[in-house]
A and B are shown apart, each in its own frame.
Chain A
Amino acid sequence: MSNSYTSDILKPFKLKTKQQELLIRVSILCLVYILAFITRLFSVLRYESMIHEFDPYFNYRTTLYLTQHGFYDFWNWFDYESWYPLGRIVGGTLYPGLMVTAALIYRLLHFLRFAVHIREVCVLTAPFFASNTTLVAYFFGKEIWDSGAGLVAAILIAVCPGYISRSVAGSYDNEGVAIFALLFTFYLFVKAVNTGSLAWGLASAFGYFYMVSAWGGYVFIINLIPLYVLVLLITGRYSMRLYVAYNCLYILGMLLAMQIRFVGFQHVQSGEHMAAMGVFFLMQVFYFLDWVKHMLSDTKLFQEFLRITVTCAVAVGGIALGVGMASGYISPWTGRFYSLLDPTYAKDHIPIIASVSEHQPTAWSSFMFDFHILLFLFPAGLYFCFKRLSDATIFIVMYGLTSMYFAGVMVRLILVATPAVCLISAIAVSATVKNLTVLLRSKTKVAQIGSTKGTSSAKASSKASLDQSQPFQKNGAMALLFGAFYLLSRYATHCTWVTSEAYSSPSIVLAARGAHGNRVIFDDYREAYFWLRQNTPLDAKVMSWWDYGYQITAMGNRTVIVDNNTWNNTHIATVGRAMSSYEDEAYEIIRSLDVDYVLVVFGGVTGYSSDDINKFLWMVRIGGGVFPVIKEPDYLVNGEYRVDKGAAPKMLNCLMYKLSYYRFGEMMTEYGKPPGYDRARGVEIGNKDIKLEHLEEAFTTSNWIVRIYKVKPPNNRW
């Protein structure tokens, strides 16, 4: 009697299987959403809520401007505080998606009377969009394979280090929003191809518009989707659904993309977008041929017509492309994207692109670091996709392969490959687990039915042996399932470790382990920028290497000569030439640029290895690229770059050397080593007695990391 009583109480809570499944799915998605957010909060908990790195400071400054002055002032903003004396047209040279998104979230929160500072919104934008990406990954996985694969995809992408590296809290950069927009656009497009509905096509066009407004990597979408359409056409999967989806995306997406001033008319003028246009016209030819075939009843006639039309179409297309490129209307591929197709191009021709550490090609350990288990699951997932080819699986295979190739060319693009790798790995996991659980749940009556049929002795014996091996198979399947869960748990451990150790560093605050294992924090950058802000005249101009430009304008609030936008190579080469010349020639250049302060970063006291002396050869190369008077071999000894006694004389007397090592010769940096021992290079410096004639030291931070020099006015006539 008590049994029925308790079952009566529990009755409203007893769910049918379908409801149970829905509850499990929703709770998994909620947990994954929260997990994706909190795993990116390491640096906020360890340091404070601040913006990391270099580029996010520019984004933060523009978002601040947007919230203070409104959208039209932001869109028409001419910034005179950077790239002195050229200035920068900010409205026309940035992708506004990130700033507008953050500003909208800020407005929404203020509307709900949560008076947060814009900096908090900026810091937490990336984790918020990472959580949204997991939801999109779930729906995408459901579209490609089934809901189980969708759930696994959501879990994998929530913690994958390849994505976390650019979307950690504080990393307020375009990619944080762009990966969400990328996956969302792809999902909407695949949904449009699967359903053939105009509504989904329209949604994918708007998704594409959001992607174009967010990141320059939209070129990947506008080339991958035409390639995908081409592959579908070649494999004979042309259909009305594909026609509707692609036309809607291309035309509306192109028109919407032209609203972004930075993109402008590139969709009809730039060589990188011509593939989309070519495929668009090819689709029209296909549709036309399909219609003619439908009208004609004679196949022979149609074959002739087919031959003539395709020849004419290809000829007209080729002539149009040739005329466009020859007349210069269609510009060729820009260096940044061309170096993806020909990786050796940047090394020989464009030193600025080659110098960025994120643009180096990828070694196996970077792949392992960022993907771990997924590197095994990716080929397995490809196998499953090839087993069950459909429009959607062909898409994900193409996305995976192209993005993996680009990830191999440039480390930074591992980010773009991450969603594809997660989705394909999820397919492998889901299919394998499904196989194993089917084996686990197979009932023994299969063997009984086989034995009652008994057509031939061999069949009966095999069924009998099947009966015998059933428990063995069940145990084997159970063991394999445990093995799979063990591997996935190792993946989760690895991802959390990598996030905590490698990708949660703010880069503007450095941390190291002291002698007794305690954590030592170097906050020199912010110290120097704050000094600049408080102790220099408001119209002072600061010259430094372009890495620090955004931070100086955002935090120091002073005008800079060159910054991270690197749009003017000659201006950067002028600064590079100044840094690598003798002090007198450098003073001429400094006076011509109207500079008041020079800022260098020096890691000799702390052992910080990303300082200006280690970057110096890039200054020489970039300066030498424009001014042939700077020759790289002058600074090397036997092809080797040295700063000790055996260094080249030009190196020992150039401006960068003097500014870095001024007064360093008397400094004791390490016990048991002579004074003037450079801990970052591991040598004793060559020229210890440095005298500066035209500059004087203004400020050196407490750990000697940032050093600021004031430019003295020229001597009076005597």
Chain B
Amino acid sequence: MAPKADTQSAGAVAAADASSQFSMDPLFHILKVVPYSFLRAPRLRLKIPSVSLPSAMTVFSLVLLTYFMVVSGFVYDVIVEPPGIGSTQDPATGAVRPVVFLPGRVNGQYIIEGLSSGFMFVLGGIGIVLLDLALDKNRARSVKVSYAIAGISSVVIAYVMTTLFIRIKIPGYLR
């Protein structure tokens, strides 16, 4: 829908065979007079690249990537700038132990825990998508079976891990 601003190449073409094309474009006629009556348009072989709409599944994969970033708390990481992983000092030995999940608050995270949880959510979503692909009629049976197994295991793993994460993070969960 954007106007093609190739009056230059149109001018070159018109200069080449002036009588064959008749244009209604006033801009073209102005340009024919003002610079190009005394300037010679160079011979160019430029082509405007054609922009076509991406397919639905391409857009879907981009959307999935964005969803992963949003749901793993990317904006939280950028603004609050938490450490990648927390640390605590063992009272007995004095050694520094890493703490993966930020304790105490629901709305707080370290970067790594956010990314791993986000990955689990996307894995669960992809599992359900694989299940739907497995039920599609037009594939070979072995492909369908492998999709189904991959889908079911993805969903199960994602659900179990997510429940485990939230149980670690919020000690009183479901009590």
Contacts and interface: CB of A to CB of B under 8 A. Distances in A.
Given A343-B79, A361-B79, A363-B107, A480 B152 contact: yes
A432 B133 CA distance: 11
B53 A235 contact: yes
Given A361-B80, A431-B132, A497-B174, A378 B67 contact: yes
Interface string B33-76: 00000000000000000000100110110011011001111111
A368 B166 contact: yes
Nearest to B163: A490
Contacts of B128: 376-377, 379-380, 383, 428, 432
B140 to A, nearest CB: 9
A347 B81 CA distance: 12
A9 B23 CA distance: 84
Of A301, A305, A435, A436, most buried by chain B (CB within 10 Å of CB) is: A435
B114 A408 contact: no
B118 A364 contact: yes
A297 to B, nearest CB: 15
Given A386-B57, A494-B174, A360 B121 contact: no
A104 interface: no
A363 B73 contact: yes
A304 B24 contact: yes
Q: Categorize the interface residue count of chain B.
A: 35 or more
A432 B124 CA distance: 14
B26 interface: yes
A366 B106 CA distance: 6
Contacts of A494: 174
Interface stretch (A106-114, A307-315, A626-634, A651-659): A307-315
A515 interface: no
A518 to B, nearest CB: 17
Interface in B111-137: 113-114, 117-118, 121-122, 124-129, 131-132, 135
Interface in B143-175: 148, 152, 155, 158-159, 162, 165-166, 169-170, 172-174
Contacts of A507: none
A462 B141 contact: yes
Contacts of A375: 71, 121, 124-125, 162
Of B27, B67, B78, B131, most buried by chain A (CB within 10 Å of CB) is: B67
B3 A364 contact: no
Contacts of A233: 1
B125 A380 contact: yes
A462 B144 CA distance: 13
B67 A363 contact: no
Q: Is the interface of B mostly helix, strand, loop or mixed?
A: helix
A365 interface: yes
Given A365-B169, A380-B125, A306 B3 contact: yes
A433 to B, nearest CB: 11
B166 A365 contact: yes
Contacts of A476: 148
A409 interface: yes
A493 interface: yes
Interface string B84-101: 000000000000000000
A404 interface: yes
A288 B35 CA distance: 33
A465 B141 contact: yes
Nearest to B5: A311
A480 B4 CA distance: 54
B11 interface: no
B146 to A, nearest CB: 14
B25 interface: yes
A304 B64 contact: no
Interface in A277-316: 301, 304-308, 310-311, 314
Contacts of A435: 131-132, 135
Nearest to A410: B75
A369 interface: yes
A367 interface: yes
A466 B137 CA distance: 12
Contact of B71 (A343, A364, A373, A439): A364
A493 B172 CA distance: 15
Contacts of B73: 361-364, 367, 408
15 contacts: A304-B24, A308-B3, A310-B1, A344-B78, A361-B76, A365-B166, A365-B169, A367-B73, A368-B117, A376-B121, A376-B155, A376-B159, A432-B128, A469-B141, A483-B152
Interface of A: 233-236, 301, 304-308, 310-311, 314, 343-344, 347, 360-369, 373, 375-380, 382-384, 386-387, 389, 397, 401, 404-405, 407-409, 411, 428, 431-432, 435-436, 439, 462, 465-466, 469, 476, 480, 483, 487, 493-494, 497, 501-502
Interface of B: 1-4, 23-27, 53, 56-57, 59-60, 63-64, 66-67, 70-76, 78-80, 102, 106-109, 113-114, 117-118, 121-122, 124-129, 131-132, 135, 141, 148, 152, 155, 158-159, 162, 165-166, 169-170, 172-174
Given A386-B59, A389-B56, 15 more contacts: A310-B3, A343-B78, A360-B80, A363-B108, A365-B117, A369-B106, A376-B125, A379-B64, A386-B60, A404-B67, A408-B74, A435-B132, A439-B135, A466-B141, A493-B174
Q: 10 nearest interchain CB pairs?
A: A379-B125, A376-B124, A380-B128, A363-B109, A408-B70, A361-B76, A364-B117, A307-B3, A361-B75, A304-B24
